[in-house]
Structure 1
Amino acid sequence: MTDAPPAPRPRAFVLLDDGLDRLGLRTPFSRDCALAVAMAAVSTGLLWVFSGVLENREGVHLSPAATALLALLVYGQSLMLCLRRTRPVLCVGVVAFTHVGVMSLMPPHVTAQGLAPFIAAYTCGAHLPARRAVRVVATVTAATALAGTLVTGRLLEALIGDRAVPVAFPRTPEGLPVVAAGLLAVAVAMYGGSAFIGYVVATRRDYTELVRLRAAEAVQRQEEKAANAVMAERARMARELHDIAAHHLSGMVVQAGAAERLVGRDDQAAREAVCWIRTQGKETLDGLRLAVGALRDPGEEAPSEAGAPVPGADAVERLVRAERALGAQVGFAVEGERRELPPVADVTVYRVAQEALANARDHAPGARVDVLLHYTEARVAVQVENAEPEPGPHGGGRGSEVPEGVPRGMGLIGMRERAQVVGGVLEAGPAPGGGWRVRLEVPR
């Protein structure tokens, strides 16, 4: 199977990829490093805003040591994103550990986190197998809530004193469940929600890719089906080529043998035989040119000579005259008003009559053959029936003089295949009065 074309992407993503490529960021790791640096820069602004809010609204003034430690934890969170796709479990684990450190510097009633935990959890949901992602996120969520319950505000109290914290950390066991429930809810929303979004996005991406691949496979199957149809049609055309050559060449061999015997004995009859051979040879060449032209690949230059039209039901009478010229006793009759047939069915009628006459010439030499064309509103039938051959070593005609090895047509198998292609019915078997009958009916 050939590779499917890539799925179309939004223009914004294409422009972003082009921009990153121009900056030399072509691998996932290099792009994750760029994201980590960008998040560290964003964290600087968020840290400055948060410090102002904490001092103005909560009355907590962070000491230089607390501020430096908070900045170090926040930057560590952001820079760990460079491993988010290469080592997602390690990334989310370190981010959760630094998040617990940030909580130890916050008052119990204040919740603060950067963007790194959301991105790390999203990456786990998008790139890890579903079961493993659930285990990792559940472990990180539970550990963050439990550790946060135990350390929230502890480091802040140690660095700036109890008086600087407006709401003290609950010292009694009764207050711990309240803090634990709040931190668990925040952790579930942050890690669990982000991982779920990542899983949904990855599932949607995989589904889109699957649909694209199935569409590409469907297109390929359609192309293969069309190619097989072309090959089947070419095979039929090749059989057409074989039938043309087999019928005409066998007749030409017979007539050439007769002309050879007539030279010096009946020159006029010999000239007529040679003239027939020349005419028949030209007709054979025209038919071969047409068939070979149809077998050419698209775009291949056509031959300079124009090919003759493919013979149809109207040419059966000409076929009968050719058989009579070979000395065969062939009767011909038409019943009903002549009607046009589809091109393929028209050719089939002619070729079946041609093959049946060739069979009669070979297998019942000298026997009389009757050809009937019967037209109705819905169907057209051609019937070729030969009587029993006359007694004698070779019968009464010259058909027996066809030497062995001369190409023959496709026989009954080929005739049945042709009939099946056009939805016709072929009957071949002994005739009621003796001999052999071939009858083809094709719908109009």
Structure 2
Amino acid sequence: MDRSATHRFDHLLDGLGLRGDTRRDIALGLLVAAVSVAVLWVSLPALEALEGLVLARGTIVSAGLVLLTQALPLGLRRRNPVLSLVGVAALQVLLAALTPAGFNFHGPALFIAAYTCGTVLSLSRLSVVLVACALVYGTAEGLLTGALAPAAGVSLVLPGEPPPWVTAPILTVPALLIPGLIGIYVGTHRRYAELVRLRDAEEIQAHKERAQTAIRAERTRMARELHDIAAHHLSGMVVQAGAAERLIGRDDEAARHAMDWVRTQGKETLTGLRAVVGALRDPDEEEARPGHETEVRDAPVPGLAAVERLVSTERELGTDLRLVREGSPYELPPIADVTAYRTVQEALTNTRDHAAGAKVSVRLWYRPARFALEVENERGGTPDTDRRHRGLGVLGMRERADVVGARLDVGPTDGGGWRVRWEIPVEREETR
């Protein structure tokens, strides 16, 4: 039974008010009691027709009561499986004593108790319990069979056959061992399935933790880059404001242009600051990912102007790479410019990790109202077997795209390759 079917069955039992193992075991005992009595009642006419044995009414009633009682120890089968098996076996001996020799009616309770022992006991302990129980129970059943039967002397044992106390233990051992071995198989399968479930849960949790670490690291780098961008633009604004102040009264037109530049730069810087507000700087930044060079803290923040250098570096590493630009290039807002560059960088790194040797194309589209970039690789190459960072690069790209309001599409191509597409609307007055 697969996990989904098991869950559905559990929900069904819960809906019937059977919550917990004890309630379910008691319900199973009552069901087994009813089935045992029904089977006994149905088998009596066949026994009379085939064997010519007619049981007295009192014997039938006594046997029915014993069968009803025999199922009760099943209510303990998971809390104390050995005690449950002993109780069921003892009542089976009583049933044998109440019926003539050769009747040999066994209810399902005995086999269920042996099966339960197999699911929860170790193999060594199970072997001892089942063999000891089978020998003691079988011998007692053989010695006491028919001892309390009203029809004394009536026997289905043919002349020349071994007495019941000899054959009963021999037949009882496999009768208990077979359901016990089935229980071992089922119990082992359940434990294995539980180990797999726990392992999968641990892997999912570990992946979530790696993803959160990657997101925090990406936000840290974004905050650092925004700090550098803001520092660069604010220092330029201070210089331009000072120049405009000196030009007032001497060259008002130049002063107006200077202040217009200050206003534009201030607006772009403020937009970037608002975009990444709340991004925390993590002092324990994660180690550099494979394919990413460790960047110096005071190094200039790269943008699309550095894509040519990035492409050259990839080619030196052996990547068959083609760079295509369409449209007249223009400047993006600073934080969007950095994000576009990082997207290209991450996409190329992923290509090198998961499709080494494949042909790669990088396309940049400069359109009046939108800018788009696309990194696509063909099928091929040997994937990196290190799965620790698998999927974390895409998380970083999505995090950056969400911050600047860009759209990111990542997925396979029809030819078996992989495509990363990044697109952002552009306000032309900010790109004059």
- Band the TM-score falls in, shorter-chain normalisation: 0.5 to 0.7
The aligned residue for residue 236 of structure 1 is 221
Supply the AA of the counterpart residue of 1:283.
Answer: Q
> In 2 relative to 1, CA 21–193 (structure 1 residues): closer, same or farther, beyond 3 Å?
same
The aligned residue for residue 200 of structure 1 is 185
Give the Å deviation of 1:143: 1.5
> In 2 relative to 1, CA 139–248 (structure 1 residues): closer, same or farther, beyond 3 Å?
same
Q: Kindly report which structure 2 residues correspond to 1:433-444, keeping only aligned pairs within 5 A, or say none.
A: none
The aligned residue for residue 276 of structure 1 is 258
Distance 1:290 1:254 in 2: 21
**Secondary structure in 1 matching 2:53:** coil
**Among 186, 194, 197, the residue aligned to 1:212:** 197
Give the Å deviation of 1:275: 4.8
Distance 1:250 1:343 in 2: 19
Q: Is the 8 A contact 2:243 2:258 kept in 1?
A: no
Give the Å deviation of 1:296: 7.4
Distance 1:194 1:119 in 2: 7
Q: Please tell me whether residue 115 in structure 1 is matched to residue 97 in structure 2.
A: no
**Secondary structure in 2 matching 1:268:** coil
> In 2 relative to 1, CA 65–207 (structure 1 residues): closer, same or farther, beyond 3 Å?
same
Supply the AA of the counterpart residue of 2:194.
Answer: E
Distance 1:315 1:253 in 2: 30
Q: Please tell me whether residue 35 in structure 1 is matched to residue 28 in structure 2.
A: yes
Q: Kindly report which structure 2 residues correspond to 1:11-22, keeping only aligned pairs within 5 A, or say none.
A: 14=8, 17-22=10-15
Q: Kindly report which structure 2 residues correspond to 1:226-375, keeping only aligned pairs within 5 A, or say none.
A: 226-256=211-241, 262=246, 267-268=249-250, 272=254, 275-276=257-258, 278-290=260-272, 292-293=274-275, 312-313=304-305, 347=341
Supply the AA of the counterpart residue of 2:199.
Answer: R
Give the Å deviation of 1:42: 1.7
Supply the AA of the counterpart residue of 2:70.
Answer: Q
Q: Is the 8 A contact 2:32 2:71 kept in 1?
A: yes
**Among 151, 166, 176, the residue aligned to 1:160:** 151
Distance 1:314 1:62 in 2: 100
Identity %: 37
Give the Å deviation of 1:197: 1.4
Q: Is the 8 A contact 1:234 1:295 kept in 2?
A: no
Bigger shift: residues 228-237 or 92-101: 228-237
The aligned residue for residue 96 of structure 1 is 89
> In 2 relative to 1, CA 190–315 (structure 1 residues): closer, same or farther, beyond 3 Å?
closer
Q: Kindly report which structure 2 residues correspond to 1:153-192, keeping only aligned pairs within 5 A, or say none.
A: 153-156=146-149, 159-162=150-153, 164-167=154-157, 175=162, 180=166, 182-192=167-177
Q: Please tell me whether residue 9 in structure 1 is matched to residue 4 in structure 2.
A: yes
Supply the AA of the counterpart residue of 1:9.
Answer: S
CA deviation map 1:385-438 (0-9, x unaligned): xxxxxxxxxxxxxxxxxxxxxxxxxxxxxxxxxxxx9xxxxxxxxxxxxxxxxx
Q: Please tell me whether residue 149 in structure 1 is matched to residue 142 in structure 2.
A: yes
Distance 2:14 2:244 in 1: 83
TM-score (normalised: structure 2)? 0.57
Give the Å deviation of 1:291: 5.7
Distance 1:169 1:101 in 2: 25
Question: Which has the greater radius of gyration?
Answer: 1
Bigger shift: residues 34-43 or 211-220: 211-220
CA deviation map 1:254-277 (0-9, x unaligned): 4555666x48xx853798468536
Supply the AA of the counterpart residue of 1:74.
Answer: L
Distance 1:237 1:285 in 2: 19
> In 2 relative to 1, CA 290–254 (structure 1 residues): closer, same or farther, beyond 3 Å?
closer
Give the Å deviation of 1:113: 0.3
Give the Å deviation of 1:139: 2.4
Distance 1:122 1:288 in 2: 72
Give the Å deviation of 1:44: 1.9
**Secondary structure in 2 matching 1:161:** coil
Distance 1:229 1:314 in 2: 24
Supply the AA of the counterpart residue of 1:122.
Answer: Y
The aligned residue for residue 304 of structure 1 is none
CA deviation map 1:310-333 (0-9, x unaligned): 9632899xxxxxxxxxxxxxxxxx
Distance 1:184 1:115 in 2: 18
Distance 2:89 2:191 in 1: 28
Q: Is the 8 A contact 2:99 2:146 kept in 1?
A: yes
Give unpaired runs (5+ residues) of structure 2. Answer: 280-301, 309-322, 330-335, 343-360, 362-395, 397-432
Tell me the matched-pair count.
Answer: 300
Distance 2:182 2:58 in 1: 37
Give unpaired runs (5+ residues) of structure 1. Answer: 1-6, 298-309, 317-337, 349-377, 379-420, 422-444
TM-score (normalised: structure 1)? 0.56
Q: Kindly report which structure 2 residues correspond to 1:393-412, keeping only aligned pairs within 5 A, or say none.
A: none
Distance 1:152 1:315 in 2: 94
Q: Is the 8 A contact 1:33 1:79 kept in 2?
A: yes
Give the Å deviation of 1:293: 2.1
CA deviation map 1:269-317 (0-9, x unaligned): 79846853651452243144136425679xxxxxxxxxxxx9632899x
Q: Is the 8 A contact 1:32 1:84 kept in 2?
A: yes
> In 2 relative to 1, CA 279–40 (structure 1 residues): closer, same or farther, beyond 3 Å?
same
CA deviation map 1:340-362 (0-9, x unaligned): 599769758xxxxxxxxxxxxxx
